[in-house]
Structure 1
Amino acid sequence: MEQITGYLRADGKIGVRNHVLVIPSSGCALHVAKMITRKVPGAVCLANQYGCGQIGKDLEQTFRTLAGLGRNPNVGAVMVVGLGCESLQPGLLADNIALSGKPVEMIIIQNNGGTSGAIAKGTQLLKKLAANVAKAEPSHYPASEIILGLECGASDATSGLAANPSLGYAADMLVQSGGSIILSETVEIIGAEHVLARRAANPEIAAKLLGVVQAFEQRVVNEGSDIRDTQPTPGNKAGGITTLEEKSLGCIYKAGTTAVNDVLAYAEGIRGKGLSVMDTPGHDIQSMIGMLAGGAQIVAFTTGRGSPCGTPIAPVVKITANKQTYAKMMDNIDVYVGGVIEGSSSIQVSGAQIYEQVMAACNGQLTCSEKLQHREFALWRIGTSY
């Protein structure tokens, strides 16, 4: 059985990276969080702008997302930086992350002399966390420990024809090895939900999947809009995608052929092996962040027209089947699968190449997005600020 090189966490999960993460609990704490992070080499800061002026389910979802990122197994230790009066209480966030068993520290700006005092105290605490995390020794674990997030962005006709089917083959290989995969982007299931629902492990999961897709589209209708006014996007259309249904049929190829075993809310923790579907928007960064909050340690991302996006805590394997995109954005692309279209390769061969690249990343090889320090962050808001 193939193995990965990872870090065993206190909750039994395996990380393929060993980050020290700084999480501001609101936009008011972001600057201080960034300044603390800059003083500790190797630390990573989430550029979170939210956590204040939120209520109800919107606040709950922001909390669930930030807490899930803190609990992600790629994170060895966490510092929560709070202002002190925000809606998303930093103490509750720190306590929730600490349930995973990893070291967690908290600094409150209002209680530590303002900006300068909080930076000084926070830097001191973060250096101790970083020193502790650096002592962690990686070991070998089975590939069945991998949770792979599936993403597509800046799609064109080559995505549905070659890149997504190739990724789907790789996804099947991982599931057959005992691993887990997450399909996201609910908006890009609309029009193909009946195809995906036929793969549900039972009628209850099928009904839940169809309900999630219907609710997503209804939210747009309730706002007085039609999702087809913006989907496909202008870039998708320029790349040869003509309808949302066509885009969705291409999108779901990423999930391979295995059964749909679960349907998750945004940033909800994954509960089992095999294929899960997560309710996320089509916004690439928000979608990836949701899957990482749900426990994914790595993302495989197909792109037709080219996307450089990465994440703060997980490697992103970038894949394209567009020859022109590969030539123009070679430093952003990890795997080229255009041979499927050119006739020099097959979906099976290209899928195996993607799988090998995922395994390489899970054994420490840096992806293009990591080398270029792409650490984009955005989370999905579902409410209005008050």
Structure 2
Amino acid sequence: MSQGGLLALHHGDDVAVATRDLQAGEVLSADGQDVTIRGAVPRGHKVALTDVAAGADVHKYGQVIGRATVPIRAGEHVHGHNLGFEEGHRDHELGGSHTELPVPDGPRPTFQGYRRADGRVGTRSYVAILTSVNCSASTAKMIAAQFTPQVLAAYPNVDGVVALTHQSGCGLVPSSEGGRLLLRTLRGYAAHPNVAGLLVLGLGCEMVLTEQLTTREGVFVGMPGVGTPPPPVDPVLADIPADTLVESLTIQESGGVRAAVAAGVAAIQRMLPVVDERRRTECDVSELVLALNCGGSDGYSGITANPALGWASDRLVAYGATSALAETPEVFGAEHLLTRRATDPAVAERLLDRIEWWKQYTAAGGGSMDNNPSPGNKAGGLTTILEKSLGAVAKGGRADLAAVYEYAERMAPHEGFVFMDTPGYDPVSVTGLVAGGANVVVFTTGRGSVFGCRPTPSIKVATNTAMYSVMSEDMDVNAGRIVDGTATLEQVGREIFDLILDVASGRRPVSEELQIAGLTIGTEEFIPWHVGAVT
């Protein structure tokens, strides 16, 4: 708990966090010392606990978060005006730090899920319209719009009809990195355990053909007229469960948009009664694949919501589930805390390889890894990417790092704590995690992100009580109680864990309630990662 408004996170830190708006002249205590506040400091921002010389490292969480650009006096506000980014040196131990997570005593938790033909478990039962190309996006939305809540009321065991549209599928080389990323993402959604019925909709002349998304053999179908066929797709990443209802059509072969809409509506009408007959069954907690994500982070993220989510993640891993951290640009600066937890040096090396790829990728675009945090993050008290990353990795708890996946790569069930290489941009990151098989998302936010997700439900956790009070209708959990002193980290972590099981069993988090009510019929939160040239 803070003592009168300041919270020191680690003994010996150079800064503490303001737990309320501070005024000049206040005398506060933190880390065993009294500090006189020298000027107004907003809630969530940093205050110097000691004098720091220009050029010296500044520590928070017991780690370096940047260097002082000018001399800083104890009691001063520490932010972009006196703290700058400096990559510095981090000791990247390649494994060796093992944490034992014993299975908790008592009965094993279960949830009510949909057991699929390939053995995986869904937490929802959707009919999805998956577009092979942007040219079919409007038609897909027209089809989905016909299945209003009133129409779907006749099918209470169907969670919805969702149009998964995107802005690509043509104008890129299919065998390129970008082409393979897109195809892997689309196939990941086609094979997702939360998709019980699938309509693949194309135009008819695009580079990504509908056949490439519907084949169950995992073969990357070559395109007419292309001299060198792309390499095959790994069947493990491609197979659609045998009990998924699959139909496909193209606008050109259907006779145009109006005819395609009519054909698409008829196809889904054939699926709905069959999907509606399916029922949830009791499933072990280890069948969960959890996606960990954050957006609109603030100075409280690494103190409240993220470590509470880390507690819940560790509990899932202890039971044998899979929990996936992501957002590679937002672990930069804290990756050494992950590499030392790797179960094998090769796992650590794979994470470092992805970090190096990102350095080159951002440099090629004229940027740097410190172009993150965003203006909203900085307004919330975060100054450098090092500071933001140290708070972000707290979502991953303490468990050993078992694997590192590429974007949208199929994650293995029962694997433990893993990492997926994604951008930090929320909808792109979560799209990759869902394509990889995540059947529940927990999303932490300090500024108040309104992100939702389909076909995988997303639980929203607020980092601070002030934001939660304003946006309570958009948040599921208030982790700000940890700093308020009304709940412990473990209590909030247990609340998140219990809510994960409830949501997996069908309880709708607030973002899903908004979508089911028909208030958001767009699909802009499905955004595959675009990499490479558009020709």
TM-score, normalising length: structure 2? 0.71
2:183 maps to 63
Quote the offset at 1:99 in angstroms. Answer: 3.5
1:264 counterpart (390, 405, 427): 405
4+ residue runs of structure 1 moved beyond 6 angstroms? none
Determine what percentage of the aligned residue pairs are the same residue: 38
Quote the offset at 1:77 in angstroms. Answer: 1.2
1:21 counterpart (125, 128, 152): 128
Quote the offset at 1:275 in angstroms. Answer: 0.8
Contact 1:43 1:130 in 2 (8 A): no
Measure, in 2, the Cα distance between the counterparts of 1:187 and 1:384: 21
Deviation digits for residues 304-361 of structure 1, max 9, x if unmatched?
Answer: 0111111120110100121111011111100111121112221111110111111110
The amino acid across from 1:276 in the alignment is V
The amino acid across from 2:182 in the alignment is T
Contact 2:288 2:439 in 1 (8 A): yes
Measure, in 2, the Cα distance between the counterparts of 1:116 and 1:309: 32
Measure, in 2, the Cα distance between the counterparts of 1:271 and 1:212: 20
Q: Does 1:203 align with 2:321?
A: no
Gaps of 5+ in 2: 1-107, 153-159, 217-237
Contact 2:190 2:213 in 1 (8 A): no
Q: Which moved more, 1:26-35 or 1:90-99?
A: 90-99
Aligned residue pairs total: 385
Q: Does 1:344 align with 2:462?
A: no
The amino acid across from 2:166 in the alignment is N
Q: Does 1:381 align with 2:530?
A: yes
Contact 2:190 2:240 in 1 (8 A): no
Q: Does 1:79 align with 2:199?
A: yes
- In the TM superposition, what are the counterparts of 1:1-386 in structure 2 within 5 Å? 1-40=108-147, 41=152, 42-55=160-173, 56-96=176-216, 99-101=240-242, 102-228=244-370, 230-272=371-413, 273-373=415-515, 376-386=525-535
Max Rg structure:
2
Contact 2:446 2:463 in 1 (8 A): yes
Q: Which moved more, 1:92-101 or 1:323-332?
A: 92-101
Contact 2:464 2:481 in 1 (8 A): no
Measure, in 1, the Cα distance between the counterparts of 2:340 and 2:301: 23
Measure, in 2, the Cα distance between the counterparts of 1:276 and 1:267: 13
3-state SS of paired residue (1:62)? helix
Q: Which moved more, 1:307-316 or 1:92-101?
A: 92-101
Q: Which moved more, 1:142-151 or 1:342-351?
A: 342-351
Measure, in 2, the Cα distance between the counterparts of 1:132 and 1:59: 34
Measure, in 2, the Cα distance between the counterparts of 1:120 and 1:298: 33
Measure, in 2, the Cα distance between the counterparts of 1:5 and 1:217: 43
Q: Which moved more, 1:351-360 or 1:32-41?
A: 32-41
Deviation digits for residues 26-62 of structure 1, max 9, x if unmatched?
Answer: 1100111111222234311112221111111111111
The amino acid across from 1:149 in the alignment is A
Contact 1:335 1:357 in 2 (8 A): no
Quote the offset at 1:132 in angstroms. Answer: 1.3
Deviation digits for residues 237-294 of structure 1, max 9, x if unmatched?
Answer: 1100111101000000000100100000000000251011000000001111100000
Measure, in 2, the Cα distance between the counterparts of 1:321 and 1:382: 32
TM-score, normalising length: structure 1? 0.97
The amino acid across from 1:359 in the alignment is L
Measure, in 2, the Cα distance between the counterparts of 1:22 and 1:74: 13
Measure, in 2, the Cα distance between the counterparts of 1:130 and 1:347: 43
Change (3 A) 1:98 1:119: farther
Deviation digits for residues 363-383 of structure 1, max 9, x if unmatched?
Answer: 111001100115522111111
Measure, in 2, the Cα distance between the counterparts of 1:383 and 1:227: 19
3-state SS of paired residue (2:399)? coil
3-state SS of paired residue (1:378)? coil
Measure, in 1, the Cα distance between the counterparts of 2:304 and 2:347: 28
Q: Which moved more, 1:54-63 or 1:244-253?
A: 54-63
The amino acid across from 1:251 in the alignment is A
Gaps of 5+ in 1: none
Task: Note the aligned Cα RMSD (angstroms).
Answer: 1.2
3-state SS of paired residue (1:76)? strand
Measure, in 2, the Cα distance between the counterparts of 1:98 and 1:279: 22
Contact 1:331 1:368 in 2 (8 A): yes
Contact 1:98 1:104 in 2 (8 A): no
The amino acid across from 1:241 in the alignment is L
3-state SS of paired residue (1:300)? strand
Quote the offset at 1:95 in angstroms. Answer: 1.3
